[in-house]
Structure 1
Amino acid sequence: MFSDNLRRIRIENKINQRELAKKLNVTQETISYWETGKRQPTLDKLVKLSKIFNISIDDLLK
């Protein structure tokens, strides 16, 4: 599930929500919503996440 994967990958990469939000030009609240499944990122943000973490979009969405 995307929300669980994002949180796990973010923590494994030692990036906090605030730092990730800054890299994506979104709020920390947005990252929190993604990680709790309250919202889903746009395709553009998924592409940016995959580049930041150097993983495929498919791996993010598993």
Structure 2
Amino acid sequence: MLSDMIKNLRENAGFSQSQLAKKLDVTRSSVNAWEMGLSTPTTHYIVELAKLFHVSTDYILGLDKTRTIILDGYTEEQIELLYKLINYFDKQK
């Protein structure tokens, strides 16, 4: 469900509703309404959420269960470090 996805992404990123609202230039009550399922973010805000959380819009909408991390904007060094972390955690399974 979209409302649960927004809340989970926000909490996993360590943002309060107020912090997320500020990043998106909306009110805290808008974020709360999205998370409570009382309203739905516009397409514009779904795209902005995807960019902010580095996931696809399909993931946010629940159309794709695989979490894809968008690496645009990261340096090659940062990407290499991310891959090393992923490999490290895979070995811990």
Q: Give the TM-score normalised by the residue count of structure 2.
A: 0.65
Name 1:35's counterpart in structure 2: 35
Name 1:23's counterpart in structure 2: 23
Superposed, 1:1-62 pairs within 5 Å as 1-62=1-62
Overall identity of the aligned pairs, in %? 39
* Bigger-Rg structure (1/2): 2
Shift of 1:40: 0.3
Distance 1:24 1:46 in 2: 10
Shift of 1:42: 0.5
Greater percentage in helix: 1
The gaps in structure 1 that reach 5 residues or longer are none
CA RMSD of aligned residues (A): 0.5
Number of equivalenced pairs: 62
Shift of 1:58: 0.7
The gaps in structure 2 that reach 5 residues or longer are 63-93
Question: Moved runs in structure 1, 4+ residues, more than 6 A?
Answer: none
Q: Aligned to 1:30, what secondary structure does the other structure show?
A: helix
* Higher RCO, Cα 8 Å, sep 6+: 1
